[in-house]
Structure 1
């Protein structure tokens, strides 16, 4: 996942002809590891350090090193970038930490993650914000209409990437979560994914800067492959269908852009 977020951030720099920014890209990479492990394992570990299994202890140690490296790279960023990073960090924190009255939530967690139907929209918001706005703000790039469209495209793209995961998790998710497949069914979820990818492609032609033929060709290839992975998604997936093939799409996208450039 960290490599996927790194790839989308790098793609933003390439799209707007900005030189490789090691500090922002490495910050995003290590911040993704730190944030993901915090959200995923906070509810398991909390403060029961003595009773943790060895694998969970190893993850905590790995997360600590990632956190330290994240702090180093964040110290290298421009001051104005830190304010925007703080906004997305706060959303991530509240995603995992109980902070509101029980009546807003499905269970005893009291965090944003358990609000009915909100999960994938928050994830898409953070991903699109971090991978589009943060790299550009750190390089003093003016946030124009094209940038907003790019952020909207990435928001849609991440939503679509989440759909195979939601289809897979139908076997485990509580009905109270109101995930997309739970609300509209698997078939309609797949059709929604294809529709959103079409919206992504159409938005490309609303930008002021005309895309090159090579870029459009790569984009069509990535969107087609994404659509296929959504259409073939099912509840009984192999272990790596979503966790590797779907999450690996941004990495493949970056590799293609770098190769053909």
Structure 2
């Protein structure tokens, strides 16, 4: 039982689970816009998420050398290295314009992690901007890249989906920020730190209203998609309402991060 627990913890800590969520959103984009299954694009996002998230989470620890790397961190480093090779392989199968856009998002990730500017912390520690940078990166990787690689028109429906996807990721991060409230540096000025937990929940719930109604503005409105979105809204609302600082780490790192994957499954089933 202990081994299963450790294996599950490794699955979460190594960012495989969040990578599956990103993969699911890429597949959602391909489905919504009628794009045939593009394996290089889907796996580029999957392995790229593993590399990016592990770099963000463990880079500071590795550079500071505050402690010896445990076996678990060595395994995560090995997985990240293998994922880097997979990312490179997939990258060279993408269209040239997609590669350029992907490099732009890579630069944003590096800016988010590394202190490029003298006497300034990295963007991850800039007060109040973390949630916006992460949400924009998710929109770019899961929505913009698949469409660009498929030479799709970035028109009216794309803009609506950008807003919807941003709201979805923004709300997911709000749950994380509520649960991490006691552990986050006060200087980060996360949303719950600035307006309180209850107002954060209200903000998240209010944002789900335009998320639903924007579906009616799409040129290719599909009733079943609206039904699926309503299921998603109910599910996310419940996670927001019942989130608090005393919740288990699995509440956010597993259950909340499973929402995009569950959303994709609902679309496939319906």
Other structure's SS at 1:224 match: helix
Partner of 1:123: 134
Q: Does 1:160 align with 2:176?
A: no
Cα pair distance change 1:60/1:49, threshold 3 Å: farther
Partner of 1:88: 105
Aligned position for 2:48: 31
1:125-140 alignment to 2 at 5 Å? 125-140=136-151
How far does residue 239 in structure 1 lie from its aligned partner after superposition? Answer: 2.7
- Please state if 1:15 is matched with 2:25: no
**Partner SS, residue 222 of structure 1:** helix
Q: Does 1:190 align with 2:207?
A: no
Instruction: Give the 3-state SS of the residue equivalent to 2:249 in structure 1.
Output: coil
TM-score with structure 1 setting the length: 0.94
Match of 1:170, SS state, is coil
Alpha-carbon distance between aligned partners in 2 of 1:119 and 1:150, rounded to the nearest angstrom: 21
Q: What is residue 80 of structure 2 aligned with on the other side?
A: 63
User: Offset at 1:174?
Assistant: 1.7
| Equivalent-residue separation in structure 2 for 1:86 and 1:19 (angstroms) | 24
When the two structures are superposed, what TM-score results if normalisation uses the length of structure 2?
A: 0.91
User: How many equivalent pairs are there?
Assistant: 253
Structure 2 CA distance for aligned equivalents of residues 174 and 16 of structure 1: 41
Shift of 1:39: 0.5
Instruction: Find the partner of 1:78 among 95, 107, 115.
Output: 95
The CA distance in 1 between the partners of 2:234 and 2:135, in whole Å, is 20
Cα distance in 2, alignment partners of residues 239 and 176 from structure 1? 22
Match among 250, 256, 260 for residue 246 of structure 1: 256
Q: Which ranges of structure 2 fall in alignment gaps of 5 or more residues?
A: 1-17
Cα offsets for 1:21-68 (capped at 9, x unmatched)? 101000000000000000000000127499322211111011000000
Distance 1:245 1:74 in 2: 30
The answer to whether structure 1 residue 225 and structure 2 residue 230 are counterparts is: no
Cα deviations across residues 96-139 of structure 1 (Å, max 9, x unaligned)? 1111132xx5xxxx200000001011000000111111001001
- RMSD of aligned residue pairs (Cα, Å): 1.4
Look up the match of 2:265: 255
Q: Unmatched 5+ residue regions in structure 1?
A: none
Q: Measure the CA separation in 1 of the matches of 2:246 and 2:80.
A: 31
SS of equivalent to 1:98: coil
